């Protein structure tokens, strides 16, 4: 095979070379399918960093299992199927995280906290404030107006001269990011 021309080969040839441990064949598969897989993941999840992690996990698994690969359909369909399963797994894990977040909210709404709970609450509150500070400026401003100043979507959109949809999207993305970052702290409860 001529170096540099891997992108001209059909998927079956690339799979054969991949099974033999050919790094250039792997790179050609990534170049051929990576962008479309990322776009699909982004449409389903909407958080760039999470989509990048899912894609990295997908291709790392492809490389790790290259010798055992049995692709019965097209390579593209195979990779999209793996991606679909990884997105489902992400949402399953997110549901578990949300359950823990709901438990934390219930705990925080209790009138009397023990000394241990107060310390845990302060640690989590401090971490949450740090994560909020790490959001982009626009996202942080919208989130604070929504959650701390309790302004409606319409009020925020007027105040910041943004569309209602932009405000809703930014709030949704901020919540996803914060839930993902707070998950390890909640697991300790």
Q: 28 or 120: whose pLDDT is higher?
A: 28
Confidence check: pLDDT of 73 > 90: no
Contact yes or no for 62/32 (Cβ under 8 A):
no
pTM above 0.85, yes or no: no
Using left for φ > 0, alpha for ψ between -120 and 50, and beta otherwise, residue 112 falls in beta
Confidence check: pLDDT of 129 > 90: no
Digit-coded pLDDT (tens) for 134-163: 888 899 888 888 887 888 888 999 989 999
Q: State residue 151's pLDDT score.
A: 85
Digit-coded pLDDT (tens) for 79-118: 999 999 999 888 888 777 677 666 666 666 656 556 666 6
Beta carbons within 8 Å of 104's beta carbon, 6+ residues apart: 124, 186, 189
Sketch out the chain's domains with CATH numbers. 6-91 (1.10.1740.10), 110-187 (1.10.10.10)
Q: State residue 187's pLDDT score.
A: 60
Residue whose structure tokens are 């959109």:
157
């Amino acid at each position: 095979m001529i170096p540099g021309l891997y992108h001209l080969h059909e998927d079956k040839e690339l799979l054969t070379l991949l099974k033999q441990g050919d790094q250039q064949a792997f790179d050609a598969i990534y170049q051929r399918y990576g962008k479309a897989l990322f776009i699909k993941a982004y449409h389903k999840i909407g958080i760039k960093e999470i989509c990048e992690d899912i894609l990295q996990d997908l291709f790392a698994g492809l490389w790790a299992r290259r010798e055992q690969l049995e692709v019965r359909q097209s390579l593209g369909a195979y990779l999209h199927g793996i991606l679909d399963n990884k997105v489902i797994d992400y949402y399953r894990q997110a549901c578990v995280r949300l359950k823990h977040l709901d438990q934390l909210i219930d705990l925080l709404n209790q009138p009397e906290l023990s000394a241990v709970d107060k310390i845990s609450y302060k640690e989590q509150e401090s971490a949450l404030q740090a994560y909020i500070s790490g959001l982009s400026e626009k996202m942080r401003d919208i989130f604070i107006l929504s959650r701390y100043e309790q302004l409606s979507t319409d009020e925020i959109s007027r105040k910041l001269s943004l569309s209602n949809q932009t405000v809703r999207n930014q709030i949704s993305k901020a919540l996803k990011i914060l839930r993902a970052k707070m998950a390890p702290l909640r697991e300790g409860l």
